[in-house]
């Protein structure tokens, strides 16, 4: 089992979290949506696995490279 | 001395030169999983193709160094890579830290001159401590060692240069890295003007080597490198990949490659990637991968200037350069780093006869104090001038937003040879909301009046409006874009010159 950190590409806020801890995700699945520069920035699973931890909630501010969630694969 | 003795003596001298800094130092590197100057060459070239120059050269300034400087610490020669000639300068850090000396600078100068005059790429494996001490000390040291080659640090892009940063790179190996068209860095390597030690002695700055010139700093902040890898072997493979897209010299077109099966299928998936909502971002790299020949997209500087994506790829087997705004980075609003990245890439492509494809989805340039402090207007004009100086074919596809000056910088109007636009596009000077604020500035405009003005501002921003006045040459469906671009590349081929551009920026800087 390997743990992969999913990080934010942008500075912004968390708008919606679309998945929950324990959910299975396929590569490219939408996990959450951030809001930055009036745009919705999708955060997609970089690989298939299980969401083991979600480290942010809606309205949280995030910086670039902020760890958003963990995927076990 | 008999002939046999003479030949035996030659073999012994050669073996000593090939032993580099001795078995202990080489073993230490091997234990760390790091290749040495000669195993790097072996891993890089076609087997059996190595032709060395200056194997028996040694230090010439300090007499007692003569026996301690095999090949004088910089290994130089010529070889084939994928059957094509390249020149190689590989630093042997086990010999006096591969420091630059009077002799080894002549060797590097020779391969550089031959590669340039005979028309093939030059590759540097960077790992050097800088100028050799005490050779360079004092007025006589300076006058003897330095400045005898007035072309030493001139880049006129006659042939491609590539560098791998594979260890400590200070002084000349940093300079050659920054003069190269493509730079790959292994994690753990450092590139800087001078070492952290010197920074500490001379200016009292205690700084970690990684902070001074590590992979994270250079890939995300300075933008001086194009790619980060984990191992020496990967770095060498990435240079080979880069060279596979490039012509051997500026007077020939890039090589043709075969088109992988399935390359035409992916373009149909673009509408799955492009979101329904204009507010939703997507990663433009996915669109590039759908347009280019399968698995041919080779991205430069993925972590630097992220509102712009740059990379080489192939379309129907021909090398092209993509410059795309990426809504995933600052909503696609081009910042100073993105302009620098696009400028450098434009200059490189134009210098080596590589057509450019611009993919546009940008709300404009980043505005505000941060950008202004970093000379944003100057950077925007560098990018603009580079695009207008280009003589290779330029094709532009407006996918969604194209606003303001960025419309021009991304190839709008006659800044491309052909502008195609998707029905999903919107083209205007600025967002209608801001335009309404500006034209009603200082007026007592009612909300109704503002609404009227806003509606007026919003109209006519469609793809069809641009096509009706022939400011776009065609409105095309996303799925037809690959085919359209391949047809346009054929139409705009530089037939009059056999595919060779005018190279008006060949002597432009390699960094901005």
* Total-model pTM: 0.94
Query: Are the Cβ atoms of A39 and B277 closer than 8 angstroms?
Result: no
Does one domain contain both B307 and B385? yes
pLDDT in tens, B39-61: 999 999 999 999 999 999 999 98
Does one domain contain both B222 and B283? no
Which CATH number goes with the domain that contains B225?
3.90.226.10
B453-459 mean pLDDT = 83
B314-330 mean pLDDT = 96
Share of chain B above pLDDT 90, in %: 88
Does one domain contain both B351 and B228? no
Query: Are the Cβ atoms of A9 and B306 closer than 8 angstroms?
Result: yes
Does one domain contain both B210 and B298? no
Q: Where are chain A's structural domains?
A: 3-72
Does one domain contain both B189 and B290? no
Residue B53: give the domain boundaries. 3-245
pLDDT in tens, B424-439: 999 999 888 888 989 9
Per-residue pLDDT at B257: 98
pLDDT in tens, B247-283: 999 999 999 999 999 999 998 899 999 998 989 999 9
- Residue B299 burial (C-beta neighbours within 10 Å; 0-12, 13-18, 19+): middle
Does one domain contain both B28 and B62? yes
Whether B135 maps to a domain, the answer reads yes
Whether B221 maps to a domain, the answer reads yes
Say if residue B459's pLDDT is above 80.
no
Which of chain A's residues have a Cβ under 8 Å away from the Cβ of B363? 37
Among the CATH numbers 3.40.50.300, 1.10.3720.10, 2.40.50.100, 2.40.50.140, which is that of A3-72? 2.40.50.100
Looking at residue A22, the DSSP 8-state letter turns out to be T
Query: Are the Cβ atoms of A38 and B328 closer than 8 angstroms?
Result: no
Q: Judge whether B287 and B357 are in contact, CB under 8 Å.
A: no
Read off the pLDDT band of B7 (50, 70, 90).
very high
Shortest Cα distance, chain A CAs vs residue B330, angstroms: 7
Nearest chain B Cα to A42, which residue?
Answer: B281
Domain count of chain B?
Answer: 2
Does one domain contain both B45 and B122? yes
Does one domain contain both B188 and B232? yes
Shortest Cα distance, chain A CAs vs residue B404, angstroms: 17
Per-residue pLDDT at B219: 97
Residues of chain B with a CB closer than 8 angstroms to some CB in chain A: 275, 277, 279-282, 306, 327-331, 333, 363
Does one domain contain both B197 and B326? no
In angstroms, what CA-CA distances link B242 with B4, B124, B369, B457?
45, 14, 37, 46
Residue-wise burial string across B397-419, b where 16 or more C-beta atoms lie within 10 A, e elsewhere: bbbbbbbbbbbbbbbbeebbbbb
Does one domain contain both B114 and B38? yes
Whether B27 maps to a domain, the answer reads yes
Nearest chain B Cα to A30, which residue?
Answer: B282
CA distance linking residue B466 with residue B33, whole number of Å: 57
Whether B50 maps to a domain, the answer reads yes
Whether B121 maps to a domain, the answer reads yes
A41 inside 8 A of chain B by CB: yes
Query: Are the Cβ atoms of B281 and A40 closer than 8 angstroms?
Result: yes
Does one domain contain both B234 and B322? no
Whether B261 maps to a domain, the answer reads no
Query: Are the Cβ atoms of A10 and B333 closer than 8 angstroms?
Result: no
What is the ipTM score, two decimals? 0.83
Which of chain A's residues have a Cβ under 8 Å away from the Cβ of B333? 37
Last residue of a domain, one of B213, B245, B277: B245
Query: Are the Cβ atoms of B328 and A9 closer than 8 angstroms?
Result: yes
pLDDT in tens, A3-40: 999 999 888 999 999 999 999 999 999 999 999 878 89
Last residue of a domain, one of B179, B214, B245: B245
A42 inside 8 A of chain B by CB: yes
Does one domain contain both B368 and B493? yes
CA distance linking residue B214 with residue B189, whole number of Å: 6
Which of chain A's residues have a Cβ under 8 Å away from the Cβ of B329? 9-10
Per-residue pLDDT at B490: 98
Whether B197 maps to a domain, the answer reads yes
In a mutational test of the A interface, the residue from B219, B275, B278, B329 whose CB has the highest number of chain A CBs within 10 Å is B329
Last residue of a domain, one of B186, B214, B245: B245
User: Mean pLDDT lowest for which of B138-142, B318-322, B388-392?
Assistant: B138-142
CA distance linking residue B254 with residue B331, whole number of Å: 33
Shortest Cα distance, chain B CAs vs residue A52, angstroms: 25
Residue A4 region, left (φ>0) first, then alpha (ψ -120 to 50), else beta?
A: beta
């Amino acid at each position: 089992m390997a743990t992969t950190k999913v990080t934010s590409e942008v500075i912004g806020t968390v708008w919606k979290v679309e998945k929950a801890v324990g959910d299975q995700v396929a590569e490219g699945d939408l996990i959450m949506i951030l809001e930055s520069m009036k745009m919705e920035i999708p955060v997609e699973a970089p690989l298939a696995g299980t969401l083991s931890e979600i480290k942010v909630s809606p309205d949280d501010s995030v910086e670039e490279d902020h760890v958003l969630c963990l995927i076990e694969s | 001395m008999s002939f046999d003795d003479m030949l035996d003596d030659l073999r012994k001298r050669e073996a000593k030169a090939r032993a580099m800094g001795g078995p202990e130092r080489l073993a230490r590197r091997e234990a760390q999983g790091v290749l040495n100057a000669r195993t790097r060459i072996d891993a890089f070239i076609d087997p059996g193709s190595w032709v060395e120059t200056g194997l028996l050269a040694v230090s010439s300034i300090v007499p007692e160094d003569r026996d301690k400087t095999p090949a004088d610490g910089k290994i130089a020669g010529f070889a084939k890579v994928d059957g094509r000639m390249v020149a190689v300068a590989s630093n042997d850090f086990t010999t006096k830290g591969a420091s630059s000396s009077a002799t080894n600078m002549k060797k590097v100068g020779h391969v550089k001159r031959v590669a340039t005059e005979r028309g093939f790429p030059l590759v540097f494996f960077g790992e050097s401590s800088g100028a050799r001490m005490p050779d360079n000390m004092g007025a006589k040291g300076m006058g003897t060692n330095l400045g005898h080659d007035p072309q030493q640090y001139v880049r006129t892009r006659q042939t491609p240069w590539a560098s791998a940063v594979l260890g400590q790179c200070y002084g000349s190996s940093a300079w050659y890295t920054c003069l190269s068209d493509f730079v790959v860095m292994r994690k753990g390597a450092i590139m800087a003007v001078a070492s952290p030690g010197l920074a500490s002695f001379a200016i009292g700055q205690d700084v970690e080597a990684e902070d001074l010139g590590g992979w994270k700093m250079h890939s995300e902040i300075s933008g001086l490198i194009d790619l980060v890898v984990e191992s020496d072997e990967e770095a060498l493979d990435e240079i080979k990949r880069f060279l596979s897209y490039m012509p051997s010299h500026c007077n020939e077109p890039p090589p043709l490659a075969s088109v992988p099966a399935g390359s035409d299928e992916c373009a149909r998936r673009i509408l799955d990637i492009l979101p329904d909502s204009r507010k939703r971002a997507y990663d433009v790299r996915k669109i590039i991968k759908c347009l280019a020949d399968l698995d041919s997209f080779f991205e430069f500087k993925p972590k630097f200037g992220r509102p712009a994506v740059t990379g080489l790829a192939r379309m129907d087997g021909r090398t092209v350069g993509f410059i795309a705004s990426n809504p995933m980075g600052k909503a696609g609003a081009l910042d100073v780093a993105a302009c620098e990245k696009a400028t450098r890439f434009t200059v490189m492509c134009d210098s080596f006869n590589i057509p450019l494809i611009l993919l546009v989805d940008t709300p404009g340039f980043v505005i505000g104090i941060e950008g202004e402090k970093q000379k944003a207007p100057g950077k925007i004009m560098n990018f603009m001038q580079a695009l207008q100086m280009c003589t290779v074919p330029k094709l532009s596809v407006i996918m969604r937003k194209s606003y303001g000056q960025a419309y021009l910088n991304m190839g709008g109007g006659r800044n491309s040879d052909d502008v195609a636009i998707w029905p999903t596009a919107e083209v205007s000077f600025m967002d209608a909301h801001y335009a309404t604020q500006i034209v009603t500035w200082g007026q007592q405009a009612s909300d109704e009046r503002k609404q009227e003005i806003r509606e007026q501002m919003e109209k006519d921003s469609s793809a069809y409006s641009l096509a009706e006045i022939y400011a776009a040459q065609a409105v095309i469906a996303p799925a037809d874009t690959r085919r359209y671009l391949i047809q346009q590349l054929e139409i705009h081929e530089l037939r009059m010159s056999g595919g060779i551009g005018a190279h008006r920026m060949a002597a432009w800087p390699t960094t901005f």
